Structure 1
Amino acid sequence: MTVKASVDAVIVSYRSARTLRESVGPLAAVPGAHVVVVDNASDDDSLATIADLAVDAVRAPRNGGFAYGCNLGIARGEAPYVLLLNPDAVLSAADLDVLVGVLEREPHVGLVAPRIMDADGHLVASRRRFPGVATAWGQALMLHRLIPRTDELLHGGGDLASEPDWVSGSCMLVRREVLERIGGLDEGFFLYSEDTDVCRRIRDEGLTIRYEPRATATHAGGASAPRQDLLPALARSRVRYARLHASPASAALQIAAIAVGEATHAVARAGRGYARGHLAALLAVLRAEDAARGLGPPRTDPGWR
C-alpha cells in the first residue's frame, strides 16, 4: 500500500523502548513516508530499538516536552502532510492512506484523526468539546457523567465521521501549510493540552477538525488515566489553555474549577492511590497562577521553520 501523497511521520519518544519499534515499523515500510523519530533525551536508549529501520532519528539535547519534540521533527521535513503519532500508537499504511485521502479531497479540513482502539480492541473516546466553564466544573464536581453537556468527551457515534471541537493528539494528520501558518505546536505546554490548543488554533483559521472512523489507530495507552506523577503537568496545561483561550472571567472560573477538582479527587481517592498526585496537581495550579501573571503568546522554537 502506498500513500497518495508524501507524508512526514513524526514520533516523539521518551523512555519508549518497549513500544517504539511496533509504532515505527509499519510507517518505515511505507513508500512516500518520511519517518522522523525524535527522542527527548531518554535514559533507556529508545533509539537503539529502531537502529536498523529506515528512519530519521534525532536525539534532542533535552526533554523539552511533547510539543518541543514534535516541532523538532516537523522541521526535518517538507512533505505537505504531517502525521503526529504517539510512540505507543500504531497506524497502518492503509489507514494512513485513508487519512491522506480526506485532506486531499476536502480543503476545508485542516486536521484529520482516526478512531482510536485500545490494546484490547475497545473503542477509546477521542472526540471532545473544547474546555469551558461548564466542563471544568462538571469534572470538578464529578457531574460530567450525569450531565452530558458538562463532559468534554463525546460519547456515542464513534462509527460516524464528524467534526468535533478537538481530537486526541495520539494520532493526527495535519496540513503542513496550516502548521506553518499557526507557528507549530505551542511549547508552553510541556505535556497535555497541546492537542486541544492546536485544534483550537486551526479552527481559528477557519478550518475544521475531522474525525474519520474509516481509519483506525491502536493506542496501547489510550484508555489509561495519566500516571500519578503526571497529574501536575496535566493541571498546569489546563490552566495555561484556559488563560490563552478564554476571557479573563471565564479563565478565572475554569481555573477555580481545576483547583477544586484536584481537591475533590484527592479526597475521593484518599487511601486508594492517586491522592498524592492530585494534591501535587492542586499545588501546581496555585503556582501556575503566580507564573501566569506574565503569560505571553504561544511559544514555539523560532527556528523550527
Structure 2
Amino acid sequence: MEQIKININNSSYQTAIVILNWNGLADTMECLESIQQYCIAENFFIVLVDNNSSQAIEPLIERKWAIPVLILKNHENSGFAEGNNIGTRLAMEYKPEYVLLLNNDTVLLDNVLAKMTSTLQKYPDVGVVGAVNYYFSNPEEVWQAGAHVSVKTGNIKLAEVDPAQEITMVEYVPGSSIMFRAFLADKVGLLDPNFFAYSEELDFCLRVKKENYGVVFIPDARILHKVGKSSPMAAKEYLRLRNKFYLFKRHSTPADFIKISIKETAKAFAKAGIQLVKKGTFVYYTAIYDAIVDYKHGRFGKGKFEKFLKLK
C-alpha cells in the first residue's frame, strides 16, 4: 500500500486520528480543515486511509496542510472496520497514547481532541470516550452521543445529553468519533472485520467493558455529522441484520440470543413491508433472506453488500 507523508516529522505522537475515505473527498477535506482550525496546537497526527476510492484524491494531497497527515492508499475497499484497523496498525508505529477513529463526514466545532484526551487523563478507569454527534443539516439537533445496551434483551436506548454532566456512562459510543487508549488494541483487539460495517463499534465497546474499563461520552464535546450519506437502505439492512445476529451471538446467552434474533428479524420484516408499500420493491425481503443465510453459513465481512448496492 502506498504511503504519502505530509508534515510527518516526529517518531511519536500523543494521539493518532484515523480517518477513512471512500469516494468522499469533499467531506474529507472539510473534516481535515476543521481539525486544522481547532486542534493545530495538539500533539497529534492523522492517518488517512483511502479505501480504494474511484474518485481521485490528488486535490487533498496537493493541499498545503499545516497539520501532519499520513495518507495510505488501500488497493481494495476493506470496509469500515478493517479500513480503520489498517489505519490503526500503521498509527501504532508512532507509539500514540490515544487513537481517535473519526468519520470523514464529520466536522469539529471546537477542540474536541483536547477534551477527549484530558478526560482519559483525568479518569484512568475510562477506556473509551466519544463526542456528541449533531446533525450537520440541523446543528441544534442531536443525532447520537451513545447508548445503553442490554445483551439480555437486545434493546438499545439512546442516551440523553445532559450539558450539566462532565461525562456520561454508556455501553456504546458511535464509531463516528470514538477515542480509546492505544494499549486496548492489544488487550481487546481492534474492530472485528467480520462486521464490515455496522455494530462493529458496539462490539468493541462491549469488549472494552468486559475488561472493566468505562465507556463514556463528553456532553461538551460537539461535532457535526453528515448522517445518511452512504449506501442504499437495502445494503444497510442486509449488514445490520446479519451483524446483529453475529453481535448478540457473541455477547448474549444462547437463550437470550434466540429471543433477540426473533425480535430483530421481525423488525426487519416490518421495515421491508414499509418499503414495499412506499417503493413497490421486494429487495428488502431479499436482504433479510441473504442476511439470515449468510449468517447461518458464516459468510461475514463484505458478504452480499455490493450486490445490494446495485439493487434499488
Q: Is TM more than 0.5 here?
A: yes
Alignment partners' CA distance in 2, 1:151 and 1:179: 25
* Contact 1:259/1:285 (8 A) holds in 2: no
Say if 2:281 is the partner of 1:271. Answer: no
Structure 2 letter corresponding to 1:153? L
Please identify which structure carries the higher strand content.
2
- Aligned match of 1:59: 73
State how 1:193-232 maps to structure 2 within 5 Å.
193-221=199-227, 227-232=233-238
- Aligned match of 1:36: 47
Counterpart secondary structure, 1:215? strand
Structure 2 letter corresponding to 1:129? H
Alignment partners' CA distance in 1, 2:290 and 2:181: 34
* Contact 1:118/1:223 (8 A) holds in 2: no
Structure 2 letter corresponding to 1:94? N
Return 5+ residue gaps in structure 2 as ranges. Answer: 1-12, 301-312
Return 5+ residue gaps in structure 1 as ranges. Answer: 136-149, 296-305
The partner residue of 1:89 within 90, 101, 106 is 106
TM-score in terms of structure 2 length: 0.80
The partner residue of 2:264 within 251, 258, 261 is 258
Counterpart secondary structure, 2:111? helix
Counterpart secondary structure, 2:278? coil
- Aligned match of 2:122: 105
Alignment partners' CA distance in 2, 1:170 and 1:274: 33
Structure 2 letter corresponding to 1:34? F
Alignment partners' CA distance in 1, 2:109 and 2:153: 37
Counterpart secondary structure, 1:218? strand
Structure 2 letter corresponding to 1:25? E
Say if 2:17 is the partner of 1:9. Answer: yes
Alignment partners' CA distance in 1, 2:264 and 2:219: 32
Counterpart secondary structure, 1:242? helix
- Aligned match of 2:305: none
Identity %: 22
- Aligned match of 2:84: 70
* Contact 1:117/1:123 (8 A) holds in 2: yes
Alignment partners' CA distance in 2, 1:225 and 1:211: 27
The partner residue of 1:282 within 279, 282, 288 is 288
Structure 1 letter corresponding to 2:126? V
Counterpart secondary structure, 2:290? helix
Counterpart secondary structure, 2:239? helix
Deviation at 1:280, TM superposition (A): 3.1
Alignment partners' CA distance in 1, 2:100 and 2:198: 18
* Contact 2:150/2:156 (8 A) holds in 1: no
Structure 2 letter corresponding to 1:152? K
Residue correspondences, number: 276
What's the Cα RMSD here? 2.6
TM-score in terms of structure 1 length: 0.82
Could you list the per-position Cα deviations for residues 69-117 of structure 1 after superposition, in whole angstroms to 9, with x for gaps in the alignment?
A: 1111111222100010001012256221111100011100001111111
- Aligned match of 2:149: 130
Say if 2:184 is the partner of 1:165. Answer: no
